[in-house]
Amino acid sequence: MIDEKNMGNDINPHSFPMEIFQQARTPFYYYNMEVLQQTLEEIKRHASGMNCSVHYALKANGNRKITSEIAKHGLGADLVSGREIEAALEAGFPASEMAFSGVGKTDWEIKLGLKKGIGCFNVESVPELEVINQLAGEMGKTAPIAIRVNPDIDAHTHKYITTGTAENKFGIGIEALEPIVCHAIRLPHTHLKGLHFHIGSQITQMPPYVMLCQTINDLQDHYEQLGIRFEMINVGGGLGIDYNDPDAHIIPDFKSYFGIFKQHLNTKPNQLIHFELGRSIVGQCGTLITRVVFVKENRNKKFVIVDAGMTDLIRPALYGAYHKIENLTAQQTGPTEEYDVVGPVCESSDVFAHHCKLPITRRGDIIAIRSTGAYGESMASNYNMRDLPACMFSLTP
Ligand code: LLP
| Amino acid of residue 18 | M
Element spanning 327, H or E = strand 325-327
DSSP string, 285-299: GEEEEEEEEEEEEET
CATH number belonging to domain 4-30+284-393:
2.40.37.10
- Residue 166 has a pLDDT of 60
Which of 158, 201, 277 has most ligand 1 atoms within 8 Å of its beta carbon, as the pocket-test mutant? Answer: 201
Q: Where are the domains of the chain?
A: 4-30+284-393, 34-283
Structural contact between residues 164 and 151, judged by C-beta atoms closer than 8 angstroms: yes
Element spanning 390, H or E = strand 390-393
Between CA 56 and CA 59 the distance in angstroms is 9
Q: Which atom of ligand 1 is nearest to the CA of 122?
A: 3
Structural contact between residues 335 and 359, judged by C-beta atoms closer than 8 angstroms: yes
| Amino acid of residue 181 | V
- Residue 18 has a pLDDT of 94
- Residue 162 has a pLDDT of 56
Residue nearest to atom 3 of ligand 1 (CA): 198
- Residue 8 has a pLDDT of 37
**Among the residues of the chain, which ranges form H helices?**
18-23, 33-47, 64-72, 82-91, 107-116, 126-138, 177-186, 207-225, 254-264, 279-282, 315-319
| Amino acid of residue 192 | L
Structural contact between residues 327 and 361, judged by C-beta atoms closer than 8 angstroms: yes
Structural contact between residues 359 and 332, judged by C-beta atoms closer than 8 angstroms: yes
Structural contact between residues 302 and 295, judged by C-beta atoms closer than 8 angstroms: yes
Ligand 1 centroid to residue 279 C-alpha, Å: 7
DSSP string, 80-104: SSHHHHHHHHHHT--GGGEEE--TT
CATH number for the 34-283 domain, one of 3.20.20.10, 3.20.10.10, 1.10.150.120, 3.90.870.40?
3.20.20.10
Q: Which atom of ligand 1 is nearest to the CA of 202?
A: 15
**Among the residues of 226-361, which ranges form H helices?**
254-264, 279-282, 315-319
Torsion, Cα 301 304 305 311, to 10 degrees, reads -100
Low-confidence ranges of the chain (pLDDT < 70): 1-14, 156-167, 396-397
The reply to whether ligand 1 has any atom less than 6 angstroms from the CB of 101 is: yes
The reply to whether ligand 1 has any atom less than 6 angstroms from the CB of 372 is: no
Residue nearest to atom 14 of ligand 1 (CA): 278
- Residue 152 has a pLDDT of 86
The reply to whether ligand 1 has any atom less than 6 angstroms from the CB of 171 is: no
